[in-house]
């Protein structure tokens, strides 16, 4: 079964449960080529689950997940591994191997998934590290890097196989505002220069509106609003308005106020 090639990724009527909790409820979402799609939502709302479904790390209880024409939910393991080469992932806490240098962390996908020579790998690693401003740090260990530097190395690793889609899980979490802006600008410039499509999960409103070309608001397992950032800013949906403003007044906290004020 295949989907139209007009979308890089698509979730169709996906339901996802963890034990007795429904995290995604008949959710549908389309990712267009060269989108920088920011997924907004409360903590624990299922934003990161969407990224893991696209990668094929998780399987939905119902529905289908596609990457281009490939139905991720039906691919045999070997084919899924080949498809994953076209998807980069930047994890919330960078997920660098502490025992490997910056160079070796970035080179890992090339070493594991290709038959390129050491010289070819070194050339590609240098190119990607230069893109993120980290070429001079390739011999350092992760413990010698700041949080922002680790994020940049993680981004270089995600780009090493020249993916068509890059998934970002809280890319500026734990960074100060200045470094968060640096990472945001890096995501924008790399996506524009490399024509790569991005899906970004974040709580950070400044970052979200800086990066996004499109946004989707996830609430109670469903996408309740999506469109260009301007559309969400002007949304009449009380949940969207409350989330973007950070107000304690509104439907998001209904039913929990007694617990808060007790």
Nearest-angstrom CA–CA distance, 11 and 218? 13
Q: Is the pTM of this model over 0.85?
A: yes
DSSP string, 40-81: E--TTSSHHHHHHHHHTSS--SEEEEEETTEEGGG--HHHHH
| Tens-digit pLDDT profile for residues 101-156 | 999 999 998 998 888 999 999 999 999 999 888 889 999 999 999 888 898 899 89
Q: What average pLDDT does the structure give for the chain?
A: 88
Nearest-angstrom CA–CA distance, 55 and 220? 22
The reported pLDDT for the residue numbered 261 is 34
Question: How many angstroms separate the Cα of 71 from the Cα of each of 11, 57, 66, 68, 162?
Answer: 10, 14, 4, 8, 21
CB 88 within 8 A of CB 109: no
**Whether residue 73 has pLDDT greater than 90:** no
Query: What is the DSSP pairing of strand 214-219 with strand 36-40?
Result: parallel
The reported pLDDT for the residue numbered 5 is 53
CB 168 within 8 A of CB 149: no
């Amino acid at each position: 079964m295949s989907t139209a090639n007009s979308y890089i990724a698509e979730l169709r009527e996906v339901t996802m449960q963890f034990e007795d909790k429904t995290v995604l409820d008949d959710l549908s979402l389309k990712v267009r080529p060269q989108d920088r799609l920011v997924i907004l939502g409360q903590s624990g709302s299922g934003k990161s689950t969407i990224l893991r479904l696209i990668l094929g790390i998780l399987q939905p209880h119902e529905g289908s997940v596609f990457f281009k024409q490939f139905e991720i939910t039906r691919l045999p393991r070997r084919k899924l591994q080949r498809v994953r080469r076209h998807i980069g992932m930047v994890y919330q806490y960078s997920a660098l191997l502490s025992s490997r240098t910056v160079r070796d962390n970035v080179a890992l996908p090339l070493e594991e998934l290709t038959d390129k020579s050491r010289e070819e790998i070194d050339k590609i690693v240098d190119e990607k590290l230069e893109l993120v401003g980290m070429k001079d740090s390739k011999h350092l260990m992760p413990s010698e890097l700041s949080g922002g530097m680790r994020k940049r190395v993680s981004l270089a690793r995600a780009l090493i196989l020249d993916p068509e889609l890059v998934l970002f899980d809280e890319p500026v979490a734990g960074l100060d505002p200045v470094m968060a802006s640096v990472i945001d600008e890096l995501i924008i410039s790399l996506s524009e220069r490399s024509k790569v499509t991005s899906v970004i999960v974040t709580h950070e409103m400044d970052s979200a509106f800086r990066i996004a070309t499109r946004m989707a608001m996830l609430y109670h397992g469903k996408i309740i609003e999506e469109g260009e950032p301007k559309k969400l800013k002007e949304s009449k949906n009380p949940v969207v308005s409350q989330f973007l403003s950070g107000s304690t007044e509104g439907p998001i906290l209904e039913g929990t106020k007694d617990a808060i004020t007790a």
